[in-house]
Amino acid sequence: MPKPNDTSRSLVALDQDSTLIAVIEMSQTSWLVAGIVPGVARQPLKKLGPDPDTVLALLERWRKEAGKSGRAISRIAVAYEAGRDGFWLARWLRARGIEAQVIHPTSVAVARTHRRAKTDRLDTQLLKRAFLGWLRGEPDHCTMAPIPTLAEEDARRPNRERETLVGEKTRIVNRMKAALARLGIRGFNPKLRKAADRLAALRTPEGEPLPENTLAELRRDMARLALVRAQIAEIEAARLARLERAPDQGPHAMVRLIARVIGVGLETADMLVHEVLSRTLRDRRAVARYGGVTGAPDESGKRRREKGLARAGNARVRRGLIQLAWRFLRFQKDSELARWYRARTEEVTGDRRIIRKKLIVALARKLLIALWRMATTGEVPEGVVLRPAA
């Protein structure tokens, strides 16, 4: 029986005599399109510019070639690997009646030779083989990525932009501290509100003021820091305005619910909802895999070992979950999950620091699944304390 939301195989029966199959190997300068055309012995391969209208014209030409050989095309299936271009092409093709799929690149099997040949032509052959097996309904040939709508993609941008800006703010502060440390000046905090006004008063251990070029550089860095802070504040204010404008609309209700958990801030709730909790995932295993908190077992014969995290999911979700798990132990001490963690770490012998680091990943996985159930069904994890509803 097929599972719901199963992206490892197609649930539509394949009639290869009436289906035109094509794959696209995409780059910034050109697209290589390979096809399987019913009634045509050769498997055409065409290099095009990065233009969707040209691809559409090529598919229509191949459809006519199939028609001349007596094969009426009723289905056109196109696939390409997820990458820099994202999902816009799949949405564009679907709007024109073409079945478009986006393949997870890591789900396509490749040769394990030490120095394997890799060209765009060979890549299209691998994609055709994997895509054809997927269309036939055979599991595990490749896995398709769910194609989000333009609104769903846009909803993730504020959180991701804020993450980038926070990293930029940290880099600016560290660069300023390093510049001052080269002059022997320590204890100056560039993050203070009046730090820019104190630059001129700084003195080196020799009693000399800051050199002219260094002072000019630090002032430019302070200007950049002020700009980044203003942009972060603008993003946070815009998010609050969206939540207040439509508090019960779509993912906003999930964000407000998850943010009620003591220890979970609005930023973390917004990231979890738009990155993972609002997705249509099959079950708790799929949730854990997408969060990147599943293991990578290495078993062969008598060998049994774990290579650590598989790291096959969303890196943002994984980083946020590990941080949230440590906060959860502090703010939700009486919850069932926190009691489970303490019981497991107290009963072991040896170096507890290593055990704590390993088990915090297990706690993060359990916490993600609990929050997923809470967001989708409203089931509050046992012992978790919530803030009053706003």
- Residue 114 pLDDT: 80
**pLDDT tens by residue, 52-67:** 999 999 999 999 999 9
What CATH topology corresponds to 16-135?
Nucleotidyltransferase; domain 5 (3.30.420)
Number of alpha carbons in the 13 Å side-chain half-sphere of residue 171: 8
d(CA 66, CA 115): 38
Find the radius of gyration of the CA atoms of the chain: 27
Q: How many CB atoms lie within 10 A of CB 56?
A: 16
**pLDDT tens by residue, 299-320:** 888 888 888 777 778 889 999 9
d(CA 341, CA 322): 14
Element containing residue 127 per DSSP (H, E): helix 120-135
What is residue 79's DSSP assignment?
E
- Token pair recorded at residue 17: 């005599």
Positions in the chain short of pLDDT 70: 1-6, 349-350, 390
- Residue 1 pLDDT: 46
- Residue 9 pLDDT: 83
Element containing residue 78 per DSSP (H, E): strand 75-81
d(CA 295, CA 285): 12
- Residue 354 pLDDT: 81
- Residue 23 pLDDT: 96
Number of alpha carbons in the 13 Å side-chain half-sphere of residue 312: 16
